Amino acid sequence: MNDLEKNIERAVALRKASQLTESMAVLLDLVKKSPSSAKVNYELAGTYDCQGLEEDAVPFYERAIELGLQGDDLRGCLLGLGSSYRCLEQYSDSVRTLEKGLAAFPDAEEFKVFLALSLYNLGEHREAVSLLLTHIGDHTAHAGVKRYQRSILNYAMQPDPPYNN
């Protein structure tokens, strides 16, 4: 493991320990030294994001993607970027980003939940409810909900009456 990777790991550990000022200091230093590191840009964005500084996070998320971020980091980056756009009330950008994430990671159910929020914000309530009901119907472990799984999934396809029996 090289020094850059060690310092990134240190910054992430600091962030996870809620030592955000220290994590930020390490990452800001790293981005100055390695501005073309997709991983550094991604981790810096995430550190801004977890402090509620979405406006500061967005350019670093975007840069990380431009620099070719891959795998699980790309998955987290697309979700973080889509969520940050939503928090900044850039709902169309949020939907576009989350749909891109879902296309790239079709098994990543978290994209559907965040996408539903953004669709709701755009006034697309039917689609938002459908996404959430499908997610609940497909993924709940709760016995009471599982008992009504078939109905829930039917309502996901047609949440508005009248219902076709």
Spatial contact of 114 and 95, defined as CB atoms under 8 Å apart: no
Every domain of the chain with CATH number 1.25.40.10 lies at 3-122
pLDDT class of 165 with cuts at 50, 70, 90? low
Model confidence pLDDT, tens digit, residues 54-113: 999 999 999 999 999 999 999 999 999 999 999 999 999 999 999 999 999 999 999 999
CATH number of this structure's domain 3-122: 1.25.40.10
Question: pTM for the complete prediction?
Answer: 0.91
Q: Which of 13-27, 57-71, 83-97, 145-159 has the lowest average pLDDT?
A: 145-159
pLDDT class of 154 with cuts at 50, 70, 90? confident
pLDDT at 48 exceeding the cut of 80: yes
